[in-house]
Structure 1
Amino acid sequence: MILVTGATGTVGREVVRRLPAGPAVRIMARDPGRVPSAAHRAEVVRGDFTDPASLAGALKGVSSVFLVSSHIGDDDARFLETARTAGVRHVVKLSAAAVADSGAQDLITRWQRRNEDLLRACALEWTLLRPRSFMSNALSWAASIRSDGVVRALHGASANSCVDPRDIAEVAVRALTEEGHTGQVHTLTGPQAVTAVEQTAVLAELLGRPLRCEELDPQQARTVLRKRYPPLVVEALLESAQRQREGAKARVVRAIPVLLGRPAGSFRGWAKDHLAAFAGG
């Protein structure tokens, strides 16, 4: 049986959609009511990373796990210990490309590094997925594009080799269902590094109307981010953005073409498929 965590999130829901018929699938969710309808063939159970009893129930009879954790703390340690006790064989962990950058020392990256170390040390087979930023992060601009025709971004001219979450999910499914991924680290990027200015131009072309990219200074970005994240996370995101400004996130890796036998999805392709979000009513 395959257990999918994070099935209500950006990558997890795409993993659920792509899992082939055959292996039994169980979804662990804190709120089972939020699990997408595409998961109709899967068993859905309530599970919370902070509740060891619920983890034990979710992991019973499971052989492989897609592990997504999002709260900085001890969730991974608790989950992995329960998984080991339950007899899980293989964990496919969603991590981050910044882990491999020795210059990245922000809170989020250090937490991801610690989680990777825990996985390697827990006597389970493992596969690490290290994506760059998700192309879907552009959805945070949708409201301002619809209302004002504006993309507001910090360091708008800095490049990021962002990746289509659907590609991440497809690699995750391969790792969960095929041999040959144990002990592998897959760094996942898009086919080219793009800037917010360039993404704005692509969206303008697809929408058929002018858009402009408005540069935020760090304090303006801090104010915007604090509406969504705790202060320590905000500072970590600002540190990460500075690393991008310095060019640390522009490198393209060809793992997706090698693993999937096709080119990695482009931002233009992702934007075409999600254009309704930017066009509004």
Structure 2
Amino acid sequence: MAEPTNNKEDELAGTEQPFVQHLIELRDRLLYCCYGLAVAAALLAIWPGPSGLIDFIAIPIRAHMPEGAKLIAIGVFSPFFVPLKVLGMTAVLLALPWLMYQIWMFVAPGLYSHEKRFALPLIFFGSLLAYAGIAFVQFFVLDKMFIFIQRFAPAAVQATPDIASYVEAILSLYIAFGVAFQVPIVVMLLVRFEMVTIEKLRSFRGYFIVIAFVVAAVLTPPDVVSQLALAIPMCLLYEVGIISAKYFVKHSKAPDERADAPTP
């Protein structure tokens, strides 16, 4: 948070609230989050429904299974709990902008006006990046990953995956890619709060490539395709973050900071 200048009245002066008031505000925001999740879950339960969601996320693997083959449920309660788990995770994704908005509304009173201008766009930009990462998994990574894995499957072995293990595996991929696609946001914030300079980020590029491949190896299954599919976008998004940081810092400064900035 930017420090107020000495020659200008602090716009947040006198706005401090007691601790109990903060707890009440936190409670209200958590309730709004629960309401949003409940609405999202109800809409998804109506359409496409838990079965429809399972059918959708199973498209990539069923495309590589024998015709007529289906995923199996080994656990006694898997046919009941797995669709509910998928419904819950999808509700979180659907309500993600609303959840992020509630977080912003909770912290907004403690932000200066110039900080509010860039906080809300960042929240929704981050949500879009998370959606992009999940869509990348669903429509590209899973298909290529299953093609790669099947090349090593013996001819005498027929793959009949368990629905619980399949859902757990792809949900972990959704989370990994959704978080990894936030690299531009992290880069811009690091530069904006002067924790690092753009020049240092450029010189750190080689080290970040190594870090990206290590992170991909840890977060993805032990196959080359999914690891490359995560590491390469992270490197590209790092470059996007560097390019965007200069513009972001320029337009998110306080008015007095802009006036004091040297003219290029």
TM-score of the pair, normalised by structure 2: 0.28
Structure with greater helix share of residues: 2
Structure with the greater alpha carbon radius of gyration: 2
Q: Which has the higher contact order (CA 8 A, sep 6+)?
A: 2
**TM norm structure 1:** 0.27
Query: Which protein is richer in strand relative to its size?
Result: 1
